[in-house]
Amino acid sequence: MTDQPFFDFDNHYYEAPDAFTRYQDRAFRSRGVRWAEIDGRKRLLVGGTLNSYVANPTFDPVAKPGSLFDWYRGNPHQQSIVEAFGELEPLPAEYHDRDARLAVMDTQGVGATLMFPTLGVGIEEALRHDSEAAAAAFTAFNRWLADDWGYNYQGRIYAVPYIQMLDPDAAAAELQRVIDLGAIAVNIRNAPVPVPGGYRSPFDPVYDKVWGLAAEAGIVVATHAGNDGYDALIQMWEPGGAESSLFRSPLRGVVTKARAVSDFYAAALCHKVFERFPTLRLASVENGASWIPELLHRLDDAANRNPGFFAEHPVEVFRRQVWVTPFWEDDVSGLVDHVGVDRLLLGSDWPHAEGTRVPAEFITETLAGLDAATIERISTNNALELLGVSMP
């Protein structure tokens, strides 16, 4: 608990079984998301293929919040990830019911929060070969999200719609639809966009309708961690070694840690999206922040080696246009020197296993040692100013 309510920029729900199917166009049933019983277990088929992004997509039972707290802090007990998860629990009401969640937020001291998907951030990659099905799937998902959580529920819960980027015209149309419904932030993934025959930067001019609309509306575009498609890099080194939710090869952790988010923001700056749309605001969520010093160093080097390429130094643009939620294990005091205190946000990842055990631990653990004014800015004021909201 803390003395003052704070704003948690990264909370999660566990999706209802019909999150993708309640409003799914039946014409896309076999191409989109559907349930199947396999060996006596409920599993998800996405694009006609078994999806393993989440080990148990029913989320019942589910890991306790912060069960991997020690595992991410050096794994002092030398446990496997399965051991570290510990005993699972029946799905609590506050993970899928917004009124129950508000009651828990009251006990936690959380004044307001953004709510991101758990399963939803793993679906776009699974539909990479069918942009039409992906567009239909996420429109259906966002309609479910508005029903069950609301884009603005009592000024305290702000559910974040997901915008797929496989189909740029559909992305712009969906962005406009959710803006009209009152969304204050949307989520896209940190990734190049798969297209027939290869990939395309999300900052290619073909997406300017999306970025222009976001800039004009003043909506924050969050880039939350998920399935970024970087498993392709590991397949070069470990062919056939597919990742699952309960196994990540040591090499994958070494090669891909923070790689996608760093590449994404490097591309945003080098492909000059902020020059075209100077009021666009991006927020990196649940990607940590340890990658930032090296990225800024590389951007500085790129500017020095390419005089005249950038209209403004890219490091300064990053510091002005990008906000970030550090991991609770990051050195926040060191980050202040790189990006400034005004661009850091509290994100607990609650109730996920890899997050904090309670949201306030981000303050008592991660922000410990900082002065009171800095703590208040990171834990509350930055988010309120970025989103243009206030807490009740």
> How many helices (H) and strands (E) would you count in the chain?
16, 12
Inform me whether the pLDDT recorded for 11 exceeds 60.
yes
Query: Mean per-residue pLDDT for 281-306?
Result: 97
Q: Which residue do the tokens 């797929």 mark?
A: 164
Query: Mean per-residue pLDDT for 54-80?
Result: 88
pLDDT band with cut points at 50, 70 and 90 for residue 1: very low
3-class state of residue 200 by DSSP: strand
Dist. CA 28–CA 388, nearest whole Å: 37
Residue type, 100: A
What pLDDT digit, counting tens, does each position of 223-236 carry?
999 999 988 888 88
CATH architecture of 6-387: Alpha-Beta Barrel (3.20)
Dist. CA 130–CA 32, nearest whole Å: 9
pLDDT band with cut points at 50, 70 and 90 for residue 211: very high
> Domain locations in the chain?
6-387
pLDDT band with cut points at 50, 70 and 90 for residue 149: very high
Inform me whether the pLDDT recorded for 246 exceeds 60.
no
What is the DSSP secondary structure assignment for residue 120, as one 8-state letter?
Answer: G
Query: Mean per-residue pLDDT for 289-297?
Result: 96
What pLDDT score was predicted for residue 153?
Answer: 98
Q: Which residue, 46, 51, 53, is CA-closest to 30?
A: 46
What pLDDT score was predicted for residue 73?
Answer: 77
3-class state of residue 121 by DSSP: helix
Q: Are 59 and 351 in contact (CB under 8 A)?
A: no
Inform me whether the pLDDT recorded for 382 exceeds 90.
yes
What pLDDT score was predicted for residue 2?
Answer: 63
Dist. CA 336–CA 325, nearest whole Å: 12
CB contact set of 23 (below 8 Å; sequence gap of 6+): 139, 140, 143, 144
What pLDDT digit, counting tens, does each position of 88-143 carry?
999 999 999 999 999 999 999 999 999 999 999 999 999 999 999 999 999 999 99
Among 30-44, 195-209, 228-242, name the one with the lowest average pLDDT: 228-242
3-class state of residue 35 by DSSP: strand
